[in-house]
Amino acid sequence: MTITAFLRSQHILIPLPLEYETIEAKLRARSITGHEASQAIFVARRRLGSPWHWKSWKAARKQVLRSACETCGAGEEAILYVQHTVRLPSISTHKELAKRNLAGREIEPIDYSSIRQQMYAIRDAAEPEERDCCPKCASLSIQYRKQAATWICNSKSTGRYCAHVFTVPAKKAALTADQKKSINREKHRTWRNTILNREDDWMRDAMLAWIGEMRVYLSLQHTKTLCKRCAFLEDMTDQKPCRSCGFAYPRTEQVCPDCEQPDGAQPIIG
Ligand SMILES: [Zn+2]
Ligand SMILES: [Zn+2]
Ligand SMILES: [Zn+2]
């Protein structure tokens, strides 16, 4: 079996671009949020352009293009197109859908008070150390000056420099800069973990649905071969051409008003 034949048998005529595959995998693993995925998709779409300009599209088109128009039967003499019978997946439609679905579901909203408790717990878990401070204002922003062999307080917490000069610092229990950094890291991790796993991330649902629909769209399962005229009618109007005389009439009618042949009669061309 050739690769093309294999892909066809698997309904993978145009593989989903790697960018989308990666975003989908990260969403499924909950390592990015729906919002982050939507931003990544925005960038990828701009880079990739319309599917029908892709190389893979042009190659796949040759595989599915038939020798005659599937509506009117026009053959080789006509200009034939591969036309989707479904629309290009729309991001905004999926966003609307996901938001509406969310409204109908019983979802646990993010419990902010529980997060606050976790944040306090992280801070409280750090054991403050005995640190040097200013004996006058208890600030930690003190500086030892080698030349003078004294300390000076650089604190400006009251609006004016404390500027107290002393030889022996006082002690107070306080967190070190490293401790503060690691507390912030831990808090960030907790928050990130919460938003990555939130049940009400409707954007995540929307992006997964859009990528899924895109994969089906690119499989070209839902396409047909149309001549230029039929493609135009399908695209621009709600009319169909009569398969007997070619007269364009409303899709909802079953009989051609011009030649009175029922819809579905054998085409005269092709
Ligand atoms: Zn046609
Ligand atoms: Zn001071
Ligand atoms: Zn007719």
In angstroms, the Cα distances linking 264 to 72, 96, 205, 241, 251 are 10, 38, 41, 11, 12
- pLDDT value of position 179: 94
- pLDDT value of position 269: 42
How many alpha carbons fall within 13 Å on the CB side of residue 93? 8
> Can you tell me which residue has the tokens 């709600």?
238
- pLDDT value of position 11: 57
Ion ligand 3, residues whose Cβ is below 5 A away? 242, 244-245, 247, 256, 258-259
**Smallest-distance ligand from the CA of 243:** 3
Q: Report the distance separating Cα 209 and Cα 216, nearest Å.
A: 11
- pLDDT value of position 250: 83
**Smallest-distance ligand from the CA of 248:** 3
If you ran DSSP here, which 8-state letter would residue 51 be given? Answer: G
- pLDDT value of position 268: 44
| Selection from 52, 42, 53, 50 nearest residue 19 by Cα | 42
Alpha helices in the chain (DSSP H): 3-9, 18-28, 34-48, 55-64, 91-103, 112-125, 177-196, 202-218, 228-236
- pLDDT value of position 83: 87
pLDDT tens-digit series, residues 39-77: 999 999 989 988 888 999 988 988 899 999 998 899 888
- pLDDT value of position 40: 97
Query: Which structure tokens are listed for 237?
Result: 């109007």
Q: Residue ranges per domain, the chain?
A: 3-108+199-236, 112-196, 238-270
Q: Report the distance separating Cα 190 and Cα 55, nearest Å.
A: 44
The CA angle 218-220-223, to the nearest 5 degrees, is 135
**Smallest-distance ligand from the CA of 260:** 3
Q: Report the distance separating Cα 95 and Cα 80, nearest Å.
A: 35
- pLDDT value of position 270: 35
Distance of CA 160 from the midpoint of ligand 2 (Å):
10
Sorted by sequence, the CB contacts under 8 Å of residue 232 that are 6+ apart come out as: none
Distance of CA 228 from the midpoint of ligand 1 (Å):
7
Task: Give Cα 92 distance to the centre of its chain.
Answer: 11
The CA angle 36-198-209, to the nearest 5 degrees, is 55
Distance of CA 72 from the midpoint of ligand 3 (Å):
11
Distance of CA 146 from the midpoint of ligand 3 (Å):
103
Q: How high is the mean pLDDT in each 10-residue block of the chain (270 residues)?
A: 60 86 98 97 91 89 91 88 86 94 85 91 93 94 95 89 95 93 95 93 96 93 90 78 77 82 58
Distance of CA 36 from the midpoint of ligand 1 (Å):
44
Task: Give Cα 114 distance to the centre of its chain.
Answer: 28
